[in-house]
């Protein structure tokens, strides 16, 4: 076993049965690997199976065929070594922001005071200290998403899975959260897999970008985009590397468009 691998997705296919009993192939033979402490972005247009893939890695969905290993162990269900940020936050409506973050911690047998303290730190980290005691319906969409991020961060998982974590945020908050993510990553060395529709974001944050194409969802290309460690967002944004990789990724995505047009018989 290569001890360096955090996540190993091997030939994963997923077929859903829709409401009318027809089979929908969401993923076909998807393979990619994530090394420990790597940040990987999953991109691709709507419906190409990004969420499905993330849920399979989380263990919330079982692949029709293929396997996923996390830290060398095959995934059979959710585990405390993985944390997930859902695409729609999915907070418990009857709990406050802080209470929702605490919920994630309740499966661990921590003393109550310590649990509260950990949750408060996570809430502070996402900039919601003043809103800690509001319920989800009293929060904006972006604030809810941040609570979701805090809930996943609080349990301190080795692998952090995030489904479009920043897409509901305004530009300012988003930038702050992106910087925060890099900071957390540097401090903790977590493995992070996130879904993003944003080319710039993918290139800026990720060490490696996996692009998927739909019908059925499969890997189209993998681009290594690693910046050196501890380069700030501004440094990255201003660098020639960024422009270069952004261009490469656009070409990869663009190439997909051309390929697809080829496939259409007009």
Partner 1 sequence: MTALADQAAPVEDETTLSRKIRSQRRGGRDRLVTTAGVVVLLIIWEIAARQVDPILAAPPSAVFTALIGMVGDGSLPTAVWESAQPFLVGYVLAIVVGVPVGLLIGRFRLVEAAIGWLVIAGYAMPMIALTPVFMLWFGLGFAVKAAMVMTMTVFAISINTWNGVQNVPRTLIEVGTAFCTSQPRILSQIVIPSVIPSIMTGLRIGIGKAVVGIVIAEFFTAIGGVGGVIVDAGHSFQPDRMFAAVVVLMLAAVALTSLVGLIERWLAPWNRSIAGGAR
Ligand X SMILES: Nc1ncnc2c1ncn2[C@@H]1O[C@H](COP(=O)(O)OP(=O)(O)OP(=O)(O)O)[C@@H](O)[C@H]1O
Task: Give the residues lining the site for ligand X (CB under 6 A).
Answer: 16, 18, 24, 26, 46-52, 87, 217
Is 47 among the residues that bind partner 1 (CB under 8 A)?
no
- How, if at all, do strands 191-195 and 208-213 pair? unpaired
Residue 225 · residue 72 · CB < 8 Å = no
Is 80 among the residues that bind partner 1 (CB under 8 A)?
yes
Q: Supply 62's token pair.
A: 């079982």
Q: What does the alpha-carbon distance between residue 208 and residue 188 come to, in Å, rounded to a whole number?
A: 19
Please say which residue, 99 or 216, places its beta carbon nearer to ligand X.
Answer: 216
Pick the piece of the chain touching partner 1 (CB under 8 A) from 29-37, 38-46, 77-85, 217-225.
Answer: 77-85
Please say which residue, 49 or 99, places its beta carbon nearer to ligand X.
Answer: 49
53 in helix, strand or coil?
Answer: helix
Q: What does the alpha-carbon distance between residue 216 and residue 26 come to, in Å, rounded to a whole number?
A: 6
| Residues within window 155-194 making contact with partner 1, judged by CB under 8 A | 155, 169-170, 172-173
Q: Supply the DSSP string of 108-135, one letter for each residue.
A: S---HHHHHHHHHHHHHHTT-GGGTTS-
Binding test (CB under 8 A) with partner 1, winner from 15, 35, 66, 103: 103
Taking the complex as a whole, the smallest distance from the CB of residue 60 to ligand X amounts, in Å, to 11
C-alpha atoms less than 13 angstroms from C-alpha of 91 in its C-beta half-sphere: 29
Binding test (CB under 8 A) with partner 1, winner from 78, 116, 197, 221: 78
Please say which residue, 55 or 115, places its beta carbon nearer to ligand X.
Answer: 55
Is 17 among the residues that bind partner 1 (CB under 8 A)?
no
Query: Which listed option, partner 1, ligand X, Mg ion, none, makes contact with residue 18 (CB within 5 to 8 Å by class)?
Result: ligand X
Q: What does the alpha-carbon distance between residue 185 and residue 230 come to, in Å, rounded to a whole number?
A: 10
Binding test (CB under 5 A) with Mg ion, winner from 33, 51, 196, 211: 51
Q: What does the alpha-carbon distance between residue 183 and residue 70 come to, in Å, rounded to a whole number?
A: 23
Q: What does the alpha-carbon distance between residue 136 and residue 128 come to, in Å, rounded to a whole number?
A: 12
Taking the complex as a whole, the smallest distance from the CB of residue 219 to ligand X amounts, in Å, to 13
Name the site residues for partner 1 (rule: CB under 8 A). Answer: 58, 60, 77-80, 83-84, 86, 88, 90, 92-94, 103-104, 106-107, 130-131, 135, 137-143, 151, 155, 169-170, 172-173
């Amino acid at each position: 076993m290569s001890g360096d691998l955090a996540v190993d997705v091997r030939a994963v296919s997923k077929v859903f049965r829709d409401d009318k009993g027809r089979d929908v192939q969401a993923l076909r033979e998807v393979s990619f690997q994530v090394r420990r402490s790597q940040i990987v972005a999953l991109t691709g247009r709507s419906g190409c199976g990004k969420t499905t893939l993330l849920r399979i890695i989380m263990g919330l969905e079982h692949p029709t065929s293929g396997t996923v290993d996390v830290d060398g162990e095959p995934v059979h269900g959710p585990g405390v070594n993985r944390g997930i940020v859902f695409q729609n936050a999915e907070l418990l409506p009857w709990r406050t922001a802080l209470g929702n973050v605490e919920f994630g911690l309740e499966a661990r047998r921590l003393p109550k005071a310590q649990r509260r303290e950990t949750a408060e730190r996570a809430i502070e980290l996402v900039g919601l200290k003043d809103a800690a005691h509001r319920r989800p319906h009293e929060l904006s969409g972006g604030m809810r998403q941040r609570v979701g991020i805090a809930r996943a961060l609080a349990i301190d998982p080795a692998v952090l899975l995030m489904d479009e974590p920043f897409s509901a945020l305004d530009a300012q908050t988003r930038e702050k959260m992106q910087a925060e993510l890099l900071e957390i990553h540097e401090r903790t060395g977590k493995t992070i897999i996130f879904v993003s529709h944003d080319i710039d974001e993918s290139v800026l944050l990720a060490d490696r970008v996996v692009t998927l194409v739909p019908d059925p969802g499969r890997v189209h290309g993998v681009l290594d985009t690693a910046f050196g460690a501890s380069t700030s967002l501004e440094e990255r944004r201003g660098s020639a590397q960024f422009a270069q990789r952004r261009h490469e990724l656009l070409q990869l995505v663009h190439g997909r468009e051309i390929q697809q047009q080829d496939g259409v018989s007009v």
